[in-house]
Structure 1
Amino acid sequence: MFEMLKRLMETDGISGDESEVRDLIMKEIRKHVDEVTVDSIGNLIAHKKGDTPRVMLTAHMDEIGLMVKGVDSDGAIIFSRVGGIESLTLIGQRVKIKAGKEPVYGVITTAEISNGDMTDSMPRSLDMYIDTGLSKEELLKKDVKVGSFISLQQEIGMFADNSVVYGRALDDRIGCYVLMEIAKLSKKTESDTYYVFTVQEEIGLYGAKTSTYKIKPDLAVAVDVTNAEDKGVKIQSNILGKGPCITLKDSGMITNRCINDWLTDIAKQKNIPIQYDVGDKGTTDALSISLSREGVPATVVGIAVRNIHSTIGMASMKDVENAIKLLEEFIKNPPKVCIT
């Protein structure tokens, strides 16, 4: 299980540059579905044919990252954030700049840190730059230019007796992995099922918007990550290892109660641990899906991740396994009663 997830996490796929992730998923999933297509915005749509209802499961391929904004005369690379990455986690991070024939590597720093000065205030991303050890002329020769994508380089591995995975891009390669496993396990389904791997979720939920319009699903579930609130808080929620989280509310939507109740019933019948997520920050592809055409009943199954939207996250493999079990049963017996 871990090896496939690791391959997904290792593959660069910043919003707007998801092709390498898409190619990897396509290679693995095409033997488990009837049809695979890529739409004009870059979404990967894997279709397993069946009867009604038409069910759409989504996970976004893109990850947060950076983009080259300019190169100073001394070779310092100024960057812009792609997605909501936490600035305080960037200092000292090793990065890979997508350039010409070969990538260029560097480290994020500030003038104060580079000069050995101590600072009492937290630097903003606007005050940071990337040091590659190369001059401006050398960088230009290597085709580092405005618009080049910059990915965060982090070790990926397991700890806590191999029960916790850590690394970059858990958001949302975990969701991609869950969908791939369900497609593999679901040999025969009642529903007409679409596994949709979307683009540009981190900057505006764009891939979900166009793919939903095309597919016209009767029901949808977005598989994403959610913020673990199980350390340093008075009331714990979204606890690692306690099961996937069914989102009831986030900052953008109230999810479909009928689908949530159906998932809850499945969990009870199959003894699958679940949690409920009432969030105040962030939203998912489910928002765009729910507002397509005349509206689509939609919800979110989330995997709790610590240090979400930072350079390195942590998640429980037990939660991943239970999300797969839950959604595999959902596909076998989708809730026709929830179709409006």
Structure 2
Amino acid sequence: MKVDKELLQKLINAFGISGHEQEVRDIIRKEIKPYVDEVFVDRMGNLIAKRKGVAPKVMLAAHMDEIGLMVKRIEHKGHIYCTAIGDVDAAMMIGQTIHIKTNKGKIHGVITLREVSAGKLVKTLPTIEDLIVDTGLDKKQLESLGVETGTYLPFAANTCCFGERGFIFGKALDNRIGCYILIELAKRLKKGKIKGNPEIYFVFTVQEEIGLRGARPSAFEIKPEWGVVVDTTHANDSFPEPSRFLGKGPCLTVKDGEFIGSRSINDWIKEIARKQKIPLQLEAIELGTTDAASIQTTQGGIPSSALCVPVRNIHTTISVASISDIENAILILENLFKKPPLVCTV
């Protein structure tokens, strides 16, 4: 089956900065509802889609939120100063387009620096405090339109498929790719054959980018036997000594900055990839982590693994991923449930 590029782009283009995931949640709810038995939202804001069964009880998680900016203060001339939500690289923000949504309409703006506006050379790398959003409006006009401290500053949608090898670029590939994978997996499991009768929870978490905040309460309530997180990871195939490539399959996380994957689940996934001849990369990295770190340390310990699609320029509006890596991640998970392990260990 081919990747549904229209749905993938719809998810990527949706507004969903941490703490404001409603638009993404609504899309996912509509798409996944026909393929599960129950859909609900917990008090944290996580969307949980349940496929009823007996055992094992499995949690599959992908976070809905993206990094972004928020209004910190507005100068009298209308320059908006920002605060970051998540890991935002200020240098990559210069020149980006902002679409501010308020109850009174949409306002367009661009991210710049005072030096750039004044025609001066920028001699040092900027910080978030140096960025300004220029909308062409003064403070009174902005406030009359509902812009204030705490207003979200979402990046403009710019998704596109390109290249002979089937790449996609845009904002929020981290982690709308994971959301798409779980939706598509739910569809295929509904139509396909599963050995046994597992109870599967497809969990679309909130606020991952600001501290893995959504995954822990959902895992605490579900109490799964084991879990797999689907996320993205840094592709470094443009570096002198690359280890994570686009187009060579998803990455199975052996370890990251805060997490060591369950050996039993990882071995199961590696065996599936080997038998089915599905490309799979292994990663052991020093920085960053996923919701798997939060799930793993909940309820006395939940064996967990992370399957991540490599992405270039992650946490920017020009992130790049391979369509084939997305499809291969779905295939691995689909095969995992043809004979899911009943019990897993760390």
Which residue of the partner structure matches residue 243 of structure 2?
Answer: 237
Q: Deviation at 1:154?
A: 4.2
Which residue of the partner structure matches residue 85 of structure 1?
Answer: 88
1:133 to 136, 160, 166: 136
Listed as ranges, the matches of 1:172-251 within 5 Å are 172-187=175-190, 188-189=193-194, 190-234=197-241, 236-251=242-257
Cα separation, 1, equivalents of 2:338 and 2:90: 43
Q: Deviation at 1:337?
A: 4.2
1:73 to 68, 73, 76: 76
- More deviation in 313-322 or 330-339? 330-339
Cα separation, 2, equivalents of 1:281 and 1:233: 19
Question: Is 1:284 the equivalent of 2:287?
Answer: no
| Partner SS state of residue 31, structure 1 | helix
Question: Is 1:118 the equivalent of 2:121?
Answer: yes
For 2:265, the aligned partner's letter is I
- Aligned residues between the structures: 339
Q: Deviation at 1:98?
A: 2.4
Which aligned runs of 4 or more in structure 1 are off by greater than 2 angstroms? Answer: 187-190
| Partner SS state of residue 176, structure 1 | helix
Whether the aligned pair in 1 keeps the contact of 2:263 and 2:345 (CA below 8 Å) is no
Cα separation, 2, equivalents of 1:120 and 1:77: 22
Question: Is 1:31 the equivalent of 2:51?
Answer: no
Deviation string 1:191-236 (CA, Å, 9 cap, x unpaired) is 11000000000001011011000100001000000000111222x2
Q: Deviation at 1:144?
A: 0.4
Which residue of the partner structure matches residue 99 of structure 2?
Answer: 96
1:19 to 18, 22, 25: 22
Which residue of the partner structure matches residue 303 of structure 2?
Answer: 297
Which residue of the partner structure matches residue 6 of structure 2?
Answer: 3
Q: Deviation at 1:312?
A: 1.8
* Identical-pair percentage: 47
Whether the aligned pair in 2 keeps the contact of 1:154 and 1:312 (CA below 8 Å) is no
Question: Is 1:155 the equivalent of 2:161?
Answer: no
Whether the aligned pair in 2 keeps the contact of 1:75 and 1:135 (CA below 8 Å) is yes
* Structure 1 residues without counterparts, runs of 5 or longer: none
Q: Deviation at 1:152?
A: 1.1
Cα separation, 1, equivalents of 2:74 and 2:264: 52
| Partner SS state of residue 186, structure 1 | helix
- More deviation in 192-201 or 154-163? 154-163
Whether the aligned pair in 1 keeps the contact of 2:262 and 2:345 (CA below 8 Å) is no
| Partner SS state of residue 51, structure 1 | coil
For 1:247, the aligned partner's letter is T
Which residue of the partner structure matches residue 336 of structure 1?
Answer: 342
| Partner SS state of residue 46, structure 1 | strand
| Partner SS state of residue 202, structure 1 | helix
Whether the aligned pair in 1 keeps the contact of 2:247 and 2:324 (CA below 8 Å) is yes
Question: Is 1:275 the equivalent of 2:281?
Answer: yes
| Partner SS state of residue 214, structure 2 | helix
Q: CA 1:291–1:82 in structure 2 vs 1: closer, same or farther (change >3 Å)? A: same
* Structure 2 residues without counterparts, runs of 5 or longer: none
Q: Deviation at 1:339?
A: 4.7
